[in-house]
Structure 1
């Protein structure tokens, strides 16, 4: 797979308008967050051999992230969090816990601007500031980028390549930002669930977090392994600046 090389045409991966979470500081840790635990050494999952799905959470960490992490820990499920630097700064304890409990951290900008409408230096700043905040909070730096709103063009992919990051979008969405209803979010998520799927969700949506125990249990009962997005895309051998899944109209 190669990056689009013809123009700076901005292409949205989907038409969903992602609304960032309110910037309310919430640094109160959940009971588990105060423990000096280290990330579990989990047995690697081979998605070429088992049925995998990646749940991904954008715009966080939201104020309900602690409850979500409790659910994921209970059911031994792993997910990927695409974090905004501004919320990492206000809720660092959640980010530290995400890393400690073996979840994957991705970069989702600092303040959620449309990367296709700002200058390259501004994109670099958004990415770098978020890398710095995540490193400060969790001791690790993201290796994958998801641009706000899923918008990417040649300029965005070139900057992503400078940071040695592929751009990882999604195959389907939970529509949780719009539905705001536990049963509707559960129904939508289970309907779009597919092997090697990458599902877009948000941990700032209270109803999503409330729906997660049922969603996780149902997916696991259907034989799915809930894994990090890097496990799902591993077979594609993404290079810095590559985009996956490739938006319609982009070259293969």
Structure 2
């Protein structure tokens, strides 16, 4: 084989490897997008004709659960609380109170760290440790997962598939509004919400006083719109109905 032939073959191999690398890079970047579904079914909202939405609370549990649950009860609203394993371990009674009040719990990993650029065993451990505590709290088969900060990776998606979890994202959130006055906070949420929405709220932290003050305003606004807050599992059951 002459040198020109070898150069041509090497050039083609180089081009092919370059194309493969570009495709993989694009795929990995797409996997990190909040509602990209080609690699894994990420639910940001549900198509439904029913007037239901799902309120979700991140970074739980905490002692502030006792301030949130009565507000939900007064408005006959159900919600889903995503649990950080480290916080759940210290606040098991709060988690059990959430369940006994008719709400549901989801997995938000163990340490509430960004789950990107991590070794594969990191994802598996983060999911499994919190899963075990959710079962201890009273969840028979945990299957709802929300990644900390909403950041996804191919490795995380693979582990969720292996653990038979559903990836729950959102189409309405309080990001960028957590310091807003309660009425402005509530108005921003209500302006975006529609039937089938999944709403992400942060109301359980020590500094989330504005969110807790806005919660009754949000719930009253949903009722004025004819929308009922249900758990994520109930919302998923309404898909296509």
Please state which band the TM-score falls in when normalised by the shorter chain.
0.7 to 0.9
Which SS does the other structure have where 1:200 is aligned? strand
Check if 1:184 corresponds to 2:187. Answer: no
Check if 1:66 corresponds to 2:66. Answer: yes
Q: How many matched pairs?
A: 202
Structure 2 regions of 5+ residues with no counterpart?
A: 1-22, 36-46
Counterpart of 1:168 in structure 2 is 168
Shift of 1:92: 1.2
Q: Distance in 2 between matches of 1:61 and 1:140?
A: 18
In structure 2, the CA distance between the partners of 1:180 and 1:63, relative to structure 1 (3 Å rule), is: farther
Shift of 1:214: 1.9
Counterpart of 2:210 in structure 1 is 207
Aligned positions of 1:26-45 closer than 5 A: none
Check if 1:221 corresponds to 2:224. Answer: yes
Shift of 1:80: 0.8
Per-residue CA distance 1:109-160 (angstroms, 9 max, x = gap)? 1111111221111111111111112222335442111111111232211100
Per-residue CA distance 1:188-242 (angstroms, 9 max, x = gap)? 11111111111111122222112212211221121101111122233559xxxxx
TM (norm. structure 1) is: 0.73
Q: Distance in 2 between matches of 1:106 and 1:137?
A: 11
In structure 2, the CA distance between the partners of 1:235 and 1:76, relative to structure 1 (3 Å rule), is: closer
Regions of 4+ moved over 6 Å = none
In structure 2, the CA distance between the partners of 1:178 and 1:214, relative to structure 1 (3 Å rule), is: closer
Shift of 1:58: 0.6
Shift of 1:78: 0.4
Structure 1 regions of 5+ residues with no counterpart?
A: 15-46, 238-252
